[in-house]
Structure 1
Amino acid sequence: MKTTMKTLLVGATISLTLAGQAWAQKKVIIGNFGDPAPYEAAAADGRFEKATGWTIEWRKFGSGAEVNAAMASGAVVISELGSVPLAAGASQGVDYQLFLIGKAIGASESLITRNGSGIEKPADLKGKKIAVPVGSTAHFSLMGALKNWGISEKDVQVIGMSPPEINAAWSQNAVDAAFIWEPVQSKLRANGKLMTTAGDVGKAGYPTFNGWVVNTKFAAENRAAMIGFIKVMNDVNASYTKNKAQWNADSAPVKAIAARLGTTPKEIVADLDGATYPDGEEQITAEWLGGGAAKFMKLTADFLKSAGRINASADSYAKFVNADMAKAAAAK
């Protein structure tokens, strides 16, 4: 068979194209919020890429609403997502599944009152300006706290702001209080005091968490890599939880997280302590992927519907939870 230069060039072009497509298929964009968590240490040293075979681009989002839009459009296939926007997105039909619990939110999200605002007790919030990222876990915690205190949303001025906007407004004395997460929370506390935490509100009936969601089709087509991703997350969560004292300001993982997030190791140590991070065995218990997460989503969706934040809630959210991969990752 005669081989011409044109044939060789065409063949080379096809080979390069296929190689490019193969590389593109391995590149995975993963969304996150850039708040302190143990997994950031694993992201810093490439453990997720080694376990999955993916070339990972970590893309930071400012809110759960942005994540829902990106997941709905296909711009990202895996992302960190708070339980409130998760319930909202599932209610609106976003095609994703919760496959992992990132953290149970405690003191890492809190209501801070500004010094000089005249707020000493919950009743003092009436008539005050409270900033919060709308549609976030912090927003849900604020709504739950107000309800528990017998304060109507009409009695306060809830102002929707992003974390950077809250920080700027605080420095200008433009708001009286804010329900917000780290690292902004710590900055506000320099001129404010803690009133309640998301953990407190959760114990009173309005729990919040950050989870990880994946596009349903992508999960089915990349099961082995997804299990590898989960194993890394479980391992680093267990490392932190079981050896918390070793995750100090002088430790390599804390320094790595601080470098990634642009803050100090000392701040990271305090921030990490504001949440709990389920390991592999905890993930699949009845409290979380074994049923609890779907119940939390239903509770959250019903609350959002009653508050006029979404139009309707589903009878069950079980189909939006995929525990199979977590079970495989936790298997001995």
Structure 2
Amino acid sequence: MSSYKKLPSIDAARRRLLFHIGSVAAAGAAGALPGVTFAQSHEQATLASGSAGYTWALPFVAESAGYWKARNVDLKVLDFPTGRDSMQALLAGSANFSTTTDTPLVFAVLQGLKPGILANFSRYSYDMKIVAREGSGIAADKPASLKGKKIGTPAGTSGQYALAKYLEFAKLSAGDITQVNLAPTDLIGALVRGDIDAFSWTAQAGNAALRQSGGKAFFLTQDGYEKFFRSHQLLLVNQNTLDTRQALVNDAIGALLDAEKRIAQDPAWPDLIATRIRSTPAEVKQATSVFEFKVGFDDSFVDDLVNQAKWAIDAKLAPAPAGDLRALFRAAIKDAPLSAAAPDRVKLA
């Protein structure tokens, strides 16, 4: 049986987060960070990043290429271990924006919190991997060999949702494995020591596991997995920023659109962010080859949010809200700024 326990409330996690970032939180309340004053020529803004990994390649290009600065915005970026943690900083009022994947967003909305989705800027099906260790009894080409194994992943993240969909892909259920809630920084050590048999996390973590295990780790097959899983990378905004900093919100959209164009037109764009994410340009280019970089909203995105919500509710990981799920998630999408900047990028019913 699965040993996974229901996630703690985001409110509780937020209190823990505030203990560690109280000095940052003191800069503003409910998203009201310092903006333009008579003594300042630039706007001040804070973005909480879901990690320092290539998952956030597009906003990192916007940062490194100077697209915020070109709009007279001094952007402070705070790196967090996961998108769940960065979103909590946003909700706690320590940032104007945050980057996260769709899974933490789904849990937050189901718990009645109100992060706004300002942009859906990239997506993938293959970057989240199942990585196993030699001697675990798991076969790379046999997804069903996960049955009876201990698998680590950070709870409340795309890693957890990817694992659930991989089990579906393997024709297994959550009760067929033991899920172990581990922080991203603990996954590789736990695998190498043999504390777990496999983990569900990024290809970047998987490659690190291969190196640190001396080649005694491997990726499981994903042939056909795209029919089961897709992850969206999002820029979130809090309501206070949306209500009181409209020029800043428009600048954020413009910076992302400029970064998307740079990625599409400049083959050397990985050079801009390789140092930022402690990697090489070649590794960045190879890893992000499975990403689609395009800022936009469409109905398939809402479909994916609703399907994740149904999974979370059915698995008793989140409460079922009153009302229609589709209407709930459609209301979380703040598409007016993108519609104004690029009307063709918003195709929502």
Q: Which category describes the TM-score, using the shorter chain as reference length?
A: 0.7 to 0.9
Give the conservation status (yes or no) of the 8 Å contact 1:132–1:158: yes
Confirm whether residue 278 of structure 1 aligns to residue 294 of structure 2.
Answer: yes
Q: 1:297 aligns with which of 302, 305, 314?
A: 305
Give the partner amino acid of 1:131: G
In the other structure, the counterpart of 1:188 is 209
**Taking structure 2 as the reference length, what is the TM-score of the superposition?**
0.77
Cα separation, partners in 2 of 1:207 and 1:255, compared to 1, 3 Å = closer
Residue identity opposite 1:66 in structure 2: D
Q: What percent identity do the matched residue pairs reach?
A: 19
Give the aligned CA root-mean-square deviation in angstroms: 2.6
Partner of 2:331 in structure 1?
Answer: 319
In the other structure, the counterpart of 2:163 is 142
Q: Is the partner of 2:77 in helix, strand or coil?
A: strand
CA contact (8 A) 2:130 2:201 kept: yes
- State the alpha-carbon separation in 2 of the partners of residues 158 and 108 from structure 1: 20
Question: Structure 2: how far apart are the matches of 1:49 and 1:100?
Answer: 19
Task: Please identify runs of 4+ aligned residues in structure 1 that moved more than 4 A.
Answer: 18-25
What is the CA-CA distance between 1:200 and the residue it aligns to?
Answer: 4.8
Instruction: Write the deviation string for residues 77-133 of structure 1: whole angstroms up to 9, x where unpaired.
Output: 211111111111112222221111121123221112222322111221112111111
Return the offset for 1:156.
Answer: 0.9
More off after superposition, 219-228 vs 93-102: 219-228
Partner Cα separation in structure 2 for residue 76 and residue 202 of structure 1: 33
Could you say if the C-alpha distance between residues 331 and 152 of structure 1 is closer, same or farther in structure 2, counting changes exceeding 3 Å? Answer: closer
Distance 1:113 1:19 in 2: 51
Whether the 8 Å contact between 1:133 and 1:163 is mirrored in structure 2 is yes
Structure 2 equivalent of residue 47 of structure 1: 67
CA distance in 2, matches of 1:177, 1:114: 6
Matched, 1:157 2:140: no
Q: Secondary structure at the match of 1:38?
A: helix
For structure 2, the 5+ residue unaligned runs are 1-34, 345-349
Question: Equivalent of 1:91, from 110, 121, 125?
Answer: 110
Which residue of the other structure, out of 200, 207, 227, is the alignment partner of 1:179? 200
Instruction: State the partner residue of 1:118.
Output: 137
Deviations 1:25-76 (A, max 9, x none): 932110112221133133123222322x322111111123323322222112
User: What 5-or-longer segments of structure 1 have no aligned partner?
Assistant: 1-17, 248-252, 284-288
Q: 1:110 to 1:242 in 2, by over 3 A?
A: farther
Letter of the structure 2 residue corresponding to residue 123 of structure 1: A
C-alpha distance in 1 between matches for 2:206 and 2:185: 11
Q: Look up the match of 1:35.
A: 53
8 Å CA contact 2:274, 2:284 repeated in 1: yes
Residue 219 of structure 1: how far off its partner (Å): 1.6
Structure label with greater radius of gyration? 1
Residue aligning to 1:237: 260
State how many pairs are aligned. Answer: 298
Q: CA deviation at 1:331?
A: 5.0
CA distance in 1, matches of 2:273, 2:169: 36
| Contact persistence 2:84–2:100 (CA under 8 A) | no
Which residue does 1:13 correspond to in 2? none
> 1:42 touches 1:48 (CA, 8 Å); kept in 2?
yes
Question: Following TM superposition, by how much is the alpha carbon of 1:24 offset from its aligned partner in structure 2, in angstroms?
Answer: 11
Deviates more, 1:80-89 or 1:181-190: 181-190
Which position in structure 2 is the counterpart of 1:3?
A: none
Cα distance in 2 for residues equivalent to 1:271 and 1:140: 20
CA distance in 1, matches of 2:165, 2:242: 33
Q: Which has a greater percent of helix?
A: 1
- Pairing partner for 1:268 from 260, 281, 284: 284
State the shift of 1:211 in Å: 0.9
CA distance in 2, matches of 1:94, 1:57: 24
Q: Distance in 1 between matches of 2:41 and 2:159?
A: 36
Task: Give the one of 340, 343, 348 matched to 1:328.
Answer: 340
What residue identity is the alignment partner of 2:307? L
